[in-house]
């Protein structure tokens, strides 16, 4: 089983990048992958 690390650094909360990350997370979780998510907002 592979682990997945998602890094998001978009300054806009709920923007396009955030939506893309959440959809990727959903697909990976549905496929049984282990996820680690880091949101880097400055």
Q: Does pTM top 0.75 for this prediction?
A: no
Rounded to an integer, what distance in angstroms lies between the CA atom of residue 29 and that of residue 34? 7
Work out the average pLDDT over 2-7.
Answer: 79
| Residue where the block lists tokens 């907002």 | 41
**pLDDT by residue (tens digit) across 6-27?**
887 778 888 888 888 888 888 8
Supply φ then ψ for residue 7, to 5 degrees: -110, 125
Using DSSP's 3-state secondary structure scheme, residue 28 falls into helix
Structural domain of 24:
3-39
Number of domains forming the structure of the chain = 1
């Amino acid at each position: 089983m592979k682990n997945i690390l998602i890094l998001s650094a978009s300054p806009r909360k709920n923007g396009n990048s955030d939506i893309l990350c959440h959809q990727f997370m959903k697909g990976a979780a549905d496929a049984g992958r282990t996820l680690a998510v880091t949101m880097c907002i400055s």
